[in-house]
Amino acid sequence: MSTPPPGKLGLPELAAMKSRGEKIVMVTAYDAPGARFAEDAGIDILLVGDTAAMVVLGHESTTVPVTVEEMLFLTRTVARAARRPVIVGDLPFGSYQVSDEEAVSTAIRFVKEGGADVVKLEGAGTSVSRARAIVQAGIPVMGHIGLTPQSATMLGGFKTQGKTAERALELVNQALELQQAGCFSLVLEAVPSAVASRVTELLEIPTFGIGAGAGCDGQVLVYHDLLGLTEGHLPRFVKRYANLSGEIKGALAAYAEEVRSGVFPDDEHSYSMDESERAEFEAALESRSPVNE
């Protein structure tokens, strides 16, 4: 791919952060205000995640239904709004599983039409080959193993992965295969901290944990979860840093109450006109011929 625009955080810098032991911060983003807030807060990477299916598109507890067109729309929006953070386009379910060619075509769309800097795909197995093909096409890839929501049914639901020695070793092997395929980084979701730490030590590329403990090179959380915009059950790994849904509902209820009681809009939030113009307007209204005669 071409040289990153001025001011954009480069992928070599992410690798350098890992070697310096500096934590890398990633958060999901789905719209322009969210992207700007995250950039202003100094976030390094914005993941336009397929969690969009649930947190912004209203699908129940699954990322599967979101389409390429929907993800491209959201990715474009985020990419337009942010300058420094690396923009990750998340390839949705069904857009890369069939063949390496399909994976490369989808990844190209995310870069050309979505403005993504890099793409993310889930799983190992055939995904290793997909990752390799995309990297060979010149597009950097972030892998994602452990709990991979697109294949949650195969994994027996939204459950912690790698809890036995055998499954933990499988994760290590998957991580090494994805690194070997050319991935520049890896998300580890819902795996025991001890396993994630060992994977992180064994890899040269940065790891991002979500429910994978403090030993990872960076962390990622879903924007709506950390800000308290999601309601209902949340995974154990989510830490809420605000309760914005409470704030938003309070503000909307206050607005509704003020409209209904006539308190809003008051003079401060309305436009006035010159008294003389107003008098002329009223006189003209009085003397105008009725419309229906």
Is 66 near ligand KIV (CB under 6 A)? no
Options 2-10, 42-50, 65-73, 162-170: segment touching ligand KIV (CB under 6 A): 42-50
In the complex with ligand KIV, the residue whose CB is nearer, 11 or 187, is 187
Q: Determine, following the binding rule CB under 6 A, whether residue 90 of this chain makes contact with ligand KIV.
A: yes
The single residue among 44, 50, 117, 217 that binds ligand KIV, judged by CB under 6 A, is 50
The DSSP line for the chain is: -PPPPTTPPPHHHHHHHHHHT--EEEEE--SHHHHHHHHHTT-SEEEE-TTHHHHTT--SS-STT--HHHHHHHHHHHHHH-SSSEEEEEPPTTSSSS-HHHHHHHHHHHHHTT--SEEE---STHHHHHHHHHHHTT--EEEEEES-GGGTTTTTSS-----SHHHHHHHHHHHHHHHHTT-SEEEEES--HHHHHHHHHH-SS-EEEESS-TTSSEEEE-HHHHTT---S---TT---S--HHHHHHHHHHHHHHHHHHT-SS-GGGS----HHHHHHHHHHHHHSPPTT-
Active site residue 189: yes
Minimum separation from the CB atom of position 28 to ligand KIV (A): 4
- Taking the least distance from each CB to ligand KIV, the nearer of 28 and 127 is 28
Task: Enumerate residues 180-219 that contact ligand KIV by CB under 6 A.
Answer: 187, 189, 210
Considering the complex, state which of residue 29 and residue 111 has its C-beta at the smaller distance from ligand KIV.
Answer: 29
To ligand KIV, the closest distance from the beta carbon of 142 in angstroms equals 9
Q: How far is the CB of 64 from ligand KIV (least distance, A)?
A: 12
Per annotation, catalytic residue among 39, 122, 177, 189? 189
225 touches ligand KIV (CB under 6 A): no
Binding mask 227-266 for ligand KIV (x = CB under 6 A): ----------------------------------------
- Supply the residues annotated as catalytic: 189
